[in-house]
Amino acid sequence: MASDSGNTGWFRIFQNGQHYMKTWPNDKRLAPIFPENRVTHITRFAIRFMPPLAIFMLSWQIALGGQLGPAVATALFACSLPMQGLWWLGKRSVTPLPPILLHWFHEVRARQEEAGQAIAPVEGKPTYQALADLLKRAFRQLDRTFLDDL
């Protein structure tokens, strides 16, 4: 049973990373402040292209009669890149916001409340996932200039 809970933890981190990647708003104005824009872009690229590239590299080495060990190692490394991105995103999603971002989080929430939007109460310390959810909703429902005023 102990190994099952360990696997669930790893699996959960990857699930959190995937959810966070889908939730994070891809807005250029956030790029200088948050690395999420770059990490999500690179992770999406890696998910799409690294597995086929790994298969190609492995097949190419086998076809040319090359050494199998380095070819397998290279293929495994290529396949691990998307997992590294999802792992980072999953860990980031559950990280509590630092004080300066916490203040900004509450300012955006207040802006949404002023606009008459129903806002669920914050449970516990807000995390980067809570910020992603808030920003996604703000970009969808508030004037696109709301970031300029903060």
pLDDT tens digits, residue range 14-41? 999 999 999 999 888 899 989 999 999 9
Tell me the C-alpha distance between 74 and 57, whole Å.
8
Token pair 């959960």: residue:
12
DSSP-based three-state secondary structure for 9: helix
pLDDT at 21: 97
Residues 58, 36 contacting (CB under 8 angstroms)? no
Residues 27, 42 share a domain:
yes
List the single range of 45-54, 55-64, 71-80, 109-118 with lowest mean pLDDT: 109-118
Q: What is the pLDDT of the chain when averaged over all its residues? A: 88
Total number of domains in the chain: 2
Residue 130 and residue 59 share a domain = no
Q: Please determine, for residue 2, whether its predicted confidence score (pLDDT) is greater than 70.
A: no
Cα 104 to Cα 100: distance, rounded to the nearest angstrom: 7
Amino acid 150: pLDDT: 55
Domain that holds residue 147: 96-150
Enter the tokens of residue 7. 């696997």
CA 88 to chain centre: 7
> In this structure, are 22 and 76 located in the same domain?
yes
pLDDT tops 90 at residue 94: yes
One domain, residues 6 and 40: yes
Q: How many whole angstroms separate alpha carbon 59 and alpha carbon 70?
A: 12
Is there a single domain that holds both residue 29 and residue 101? no
pLDDT at 131: 95
Is the Cβ–Cβ distance between 19 and 36 less than 8 Å?
A: no
Q: Which of 7-16, 61-70, 121-130 has the highest mean pLDDT?
A: 121-130
**Residues 133, 69 within the same domain:** no
| Same domain assignment for residues 28 and 83 | yes
